[in-house]
Each structure stands twice: as C-alpha cells, then as structure tokens.
Structure 1
Amino acid sequence: MIIPIDALEKDTLRNIVESFVLREGTDYGEVEASFEDKVEQVLTALKQGDVVLVYSELHDSVNIREKGDYRESEEDA
C-alpha cells in the first residue's frame, strides 16, 4: 500500500528517509554526496512523486520504491 507523504508528520517522514539512506548506501555518481544531501534528494524525489513510500503488511515495514517499479500486487512479496 502506498502511504501519502502528507499523511505523516514531518519528523516521521524524515526519520524514514534517513533510515532508507543509511540502509541503501545509494551511489550518487562521481561526486560523493553528504548524508544530508542524500536525504534531501530522496525527500525531493518523494515530493515530486518519482518515488513512493510503500507499507508492507507482511513484513510490517515501510520502504521507498521508484514509482514505476511499484505494483500493488508486490507489496507483500
């Protein structure tokens, strides 16, 4: 299930994004971005709708997925 970002408190959303950035260790290209820059990039992607917050009932967890990669039928996979 997709969680609308405006349904969360600002601090809760930020904590989810920070946890995601720490877990993913995403590659940001040739120039290494600071932790804060990575968090801001993910927050911007969420606000623009490029990525979505996904809640999995099976795993009782929240993750961030690219919008085009998310399918409702996969949420509990």
Structure 2
Amino acid sequence: MIVPVEAVSDEALEGMIEEFVTRDGTDYGFEETPLAQRVEQIKRKLTSKEIVILFSEATGEANLVLRERLQR
C-alpha cells in the first residue's frame, strides 16, 4: 500500500530518508555527496512522486521505493 508523504511524521520520514540514502548499494559516483544534500534530493523526489512510501502489511514495515519499480 502506498502511504501519502503527508501521513508520515517529519521524524519518521527523516529516518526513512536517511536509511534510504545510506543503504548499501546506493552509489553517488566518484565524489561523496553530503548526507544533507542526498536527503534533500530524496525529499524532492517524494514531492514529485518519483519515489513513494510503500507499506507492507505482511511485515509492518515502510520503505522508500522508486515508483518505476512498482510498475514492473
């Protein structure tokens, strides 16, 4: 189930975003991008709905997912 960004507390959203941008396999190229900059990039993608919050009722967990991955 996709959860609207507005339904998530600021604190929880910040935690999800930080976990997403520090996840293993997240590559930002040769130069390390500051955490704050990566967080802002993800916030913009959430606003544009390029990334969505996906809640799994089976596991009770919420994750950030690229919308294009849901359409596969």
Secondary structure of the 2:23 match is: helix
Q: Which segments of structure 1 move beyond 4 Å, counting only runs of 4 or more?
A: none
Length-normalised TM-score, structure 2: 0.82
Length-normalised TM-score, structure 1: 0.77
Tell me the C-alpha RMSD between the 2 structures.
1.6
Structure 1: runs of 5 or more not aligned = 72-77
| Whole-Å separation in 2 of the counterparts to 1:49 and 1:28 | 21
| Whole-Å separation in 2 of the counterparts to 1:10 and 1:43 | 11
| Whole-Å separation in 2 of the counterparts to 1:53 and 1:21 | 14
Q: Percent identity?
A: 32
| Whole-Å separation in 1 of the counterparts to 2:65 and 2:26 | 13
Deviations 1:5-52 (A, max 9, x none): 011122221111112222245112343201111111111111111010
